[in-house]
Amino acid sequence: MATPISNLRISPSETVGTGKSVAPREWGFSETLRGAMDQVQQLQGVADGKVAGLLDGGGMDVHSAMIAVEQADLSFQLMMQVRNKIVAAYQEISRMQF
């Protein structure tokens, strides 16, 4: 029987660097993915703003708009790769024989 994707948990051990042990926070696959998507969205917002500034003659540099778009594109590609990995892992688990 397939488990909903949000029930699969990755539990990181304590945070590196801080001396005291922090109660391990549980991260679901969906939260991990959502965090990545939020960051991508933020970069896309920046790129959007710069392209808008370019198109309405707001004095935006062409190259800084292009670099922002490129950053958004690259982080989107990274997000897609992470998503592919997560889905592949999920499918691997759901195919497991009991």
Partner 1 sequence: MNLFGMLAVSGSALTAERQRAEVVTSNMANMETTRTPEGGPYHRQLVVFRSRRMSQFPALLVGFGNTAAQGVRVDQVIRDAKPPIERYQPGHPDANAKGYVSYPAVDPVEETADLMGAVRAYELNASAVQSTKTMIQESLDLLR
Q: Which is nearer to partner 1, 6 or 77 (CB)?
A: 77
Is the alpha carbon torsion for 22, 24, 26, 32 positive or negative?
positive
Residue located via tokens 């699969």: 8
Q: Which of 77, 87, 89, 91 binds partner 1 (CB under 8 A)?
A: 77
- For residues 82 and 30, is the Cβ–Cβ distance under 8 A? no
Based on the shown chain and the rule CB under 8 A, indicate whether residue 91 belongs to the binding site for partner 1.
no
The DSSP bridge pattern shows strands 27-28 and 9-10 to be antiparallel
- Please list every residue from 39 through 68 that binds partner 1, using CB under 8 A: 61, 63-64, 67
Binding residues (CB under 8 A) for partner 1: these are 61, 63-64, 67, 70-71, 74, 77-78, 81-82, 85
